[in-house]
Chain A
């Protein structure tokens, strides 16, 4: 790869990002265009993250942005049905929603229908009440330059709004297809709003079918869980070698709401950075953040999480577990901010790692900032190998070393997979984990 090939996109990002904005469709209203312009300004001010950016200390994103000569891709091409079908989770009874490069493919999707359910393209819902109220509203996005870049340059994404008391009867499976004929930088933008007492289960998976072109996705999802609403949200990342991803989820919760977030990163994609933030804007909420990352070869997986306890009487539980094979590199950051008003907060965080590769490593940093005085908060970190005694026990029963390791990894990850409430998805993940360890 030669540097003059790489320069245009990377140079535009670092020097002349305005030139890129001419390449994306404009948004429907002047207000939104103004939001875009401000985001672009903000991105220009902050610039791309460097190793000196506190939130990116262990992840050199520029290395990955410079790796290939990307071009900004804002359109979708037709993706054959068999490619889409290959992402199906066996035995899962669901509504399938297919997005190609962020663009909804209505003919390949089965949209949930009924009173109070709005599901469609972001671009078609810019005047919807939820959009007007919540698009780009989450303050955590402001600090993150990659999110600003997305706001400035996204083309489309998935809009979901559930009216008050609306419950979706089956899980929604959102299939993100990233498809390109040349190395592409793709920026989908999604907004999901669950109004009062609404409930849904949403499973995200992604696929990049081409092996000869690299797709770099920089996606942003905002979720809003209103009063007493409940969202079960699963994100399964098992991307291809030819895929790279910065995935930002900014959630906000209101009074009495429940948000259960699961993030699974499995071997494949060389570079994954997940930004996850949850702002608790109401009291008596429950938040569960579960993560499992299994990384192999030279994979780099960075989970950057932020629990923002703004209001009192909220509970959050965060459990991230990692299995690092070969030369894989893991990063975990768990920030918990408990504001002075957020009395009676319970906030727990745990990050456990199995370092199985000889050159695997993990950088884990809990960041607890607590300004209230009547709270229960804890954090913990472990990194280790298999217990020798357990390995010997399994082997003494005739189980070979590899099979024993597979059993142990399944055991290690079981408290995450056990918490998965969709049986088909749980079975799928357990099978995937077993297969990874058997190879």
Chain B
């Protein structure tokens, strides 16, 4: 579904990603872990098309299409979704209107008619329950005055509504208390199916107790330096990242 080949990217001349290779197949859950500044969020940003990143080398293919050639909205319409680490507050744009616009733009791209008001509301009600997203938040301005937990739940709610093929969750767990974490993780788990893939970017192993990954990748200094299964996350939790860094230096000095 998604193939990343030797991806290099920089911001304002600073090299951030230095040759990422990653293959994600249908239905897989990938976790990307790594210390601060390793390039985790940058990878998410490059995939979603944030324009202050310049890709200097490499390729990204999504369902056979060149993702890097597409505008951010077209990536979303093709089925890539980024749950933001810091969701933006937009006063004056109601949550409901925003979602309706997004959904219908995606449908139009796929040649589908706009959803009827009734269908839209039905879908909204159904998906709200997934993340316990209160109806009174729906009519409020997008994320305005939402608590940290409400914002993250809103991201997962949008994910449920827009139903992408590939969801990238950028530190969705950071800043969440244990209850909110459980709600968010449950939401994600309910959305998992054989067609949908996830990339979960996180600092903390804690999230991976709730969302069980098929693969765990460690990103360090702009590269994936180790790939393993969920046991790797546990090991990282116990031992930190230093042993991996040492391993890497030994390898490189040979």
Chain A interface residues (CB < 8 Å from chain B): 387-390, 392-401, 403-404, 407-408, 410-415
Q: Is B72 close to A, CB under 8 A?
A: yes
Name A411's contact: one of B71, B73, B90, B102 (CB within 8 Å). Answer: B90
In the assembly, what is the distance between CA of A398 and CA of B87, in Å? 16
The complex places the Cα of A39 from the Cα of B96 at a distance, in Å, of: 55
B50 at the interface (CB under 8 A from A): yes
**Is B106 in the interface zone, CB < 8 Å from A?**
yes
In the bound complex, do residue B73 and residue A415 qualify as a contact, i.e. CB atoms below 8 Å apart? no
Asked whether A410 lies within 8 Å of B73 as measured between CB atoms, the reply is no
CB distance from A400 to the nearest CB of B (A): 5
Task: Indicate if B158 sits at the interface (CB-CB under 8 A).
Answer: yes
**Contacts A393-B88, A401-B73; is A411 near B101 (CB within 8 Å)?**
no
* 10 A-B residue pairings within 8 Å (CB atoms): A393-B87, A393-B90, A395-B73, A396-B75, A396-B81, A396-B84, A397-B76, A398-B105, A399-B101, A401-B73
Chain B residue contacts of A389, Cβ below 8 A: 88
* Contact status of A398 and B109, CB under 8 A, knowing A393-B84, A393-B88: yes
Are the C-beta atoms of A414 and B162 separated by less than 8 Å?
A: no
Q: Which residues of B contact A401 (CB under 8 A)?
A: 71, 73
**Chain B positions within 8 Å of A413 at CB level:** 92
Give the most central of A390, A395, A401, A404: most B CB within 10 Å.
Answer: A395
- B72 near A390 with CB under 8 A, answer no
Chain B nearest Cβ from A393, distance in angstroms:
4
**Chain B contacts for A408, CB-based, 8 A:** 90, 93
Interfacial residues of chain B within 63-111, with CB under 8 A of chain A in the complex: 71-73, 75-77, 81-82, 84, 87-88, 90-93, 97-98, 101-103, 105-106, 109
Contact with A along B32-55 (1 / 0, CB 8 A): 000000000000000011110000
A384 to chain B, nearest CB (A): 15
- Complex CA gap A404/B76 in Å reads 14
Question: Per-position contact with A for B216-244: 1 when CB-CB < 8 Å, else 0?
Answer: 00000000000000000000000000000
Interface residues of B in 139-155 (CB under 8 A from A): 141
In the complex, per-residue mask of B172-206: 1 if CB is within 8 Å of any chain A CB, else 0:
00000000000000000000000000000000000
Q: Which residues of A contact B158 (CB under 8 A)?
A: 397
B165 to chain A, nearest CB (A): 13
| Interchain nearest-CB distance for A319 vs B (Å) | 14
User: A363 to chain B: closest CB distance in Å?
Assistant: 26
B97–A407 contact, CB under 8 A?
Answer: yes
Q: Could you list 8 further interchain pairs (A-B, Cβ under 8 angstroms) beyond the known A395-B71, A411-B91?
A: A387-B88, A390-B88, A393-B84, A393-B88, A396-B49, A403-B105, A411-B92, A413-B92
A398 touches B106 (CB 8 A): yes
Instruction: From known contacts A403-B101, A411-B92, infer whether A398 and B77 are also in contact, taking CB-CB under 8 Å.
Output: yes
Pick the contact of B90: A390, A395, A400, A415 (CB < 8 A).
A390
Question: How many angstroms from the CA of A401 to the CA of B72 in the assembled complex?
Answer: 9
Contacts of B77 in A (CB 8 A): 398
- Is A398 a contact partner of B71 (Cβ separation < 8 A)? no
Residue of A nearest to B45 (CB): A392
Q: Which residue of A lies closest to B92 (CB)?
A: A411
CB distance from B199 to the nearest CB of A (A): 15
In the complex, A400→B107 CA distance in Å?
Answer: 12
- How far apart sit A395 and B72, CA to CA, in the bound complex (Å)? 6
- Chain B residues with Cβ under 8 A from A400's Cβ? 73, 105
Distance of A404 Cα from B88 Cα, bound (Å): 14
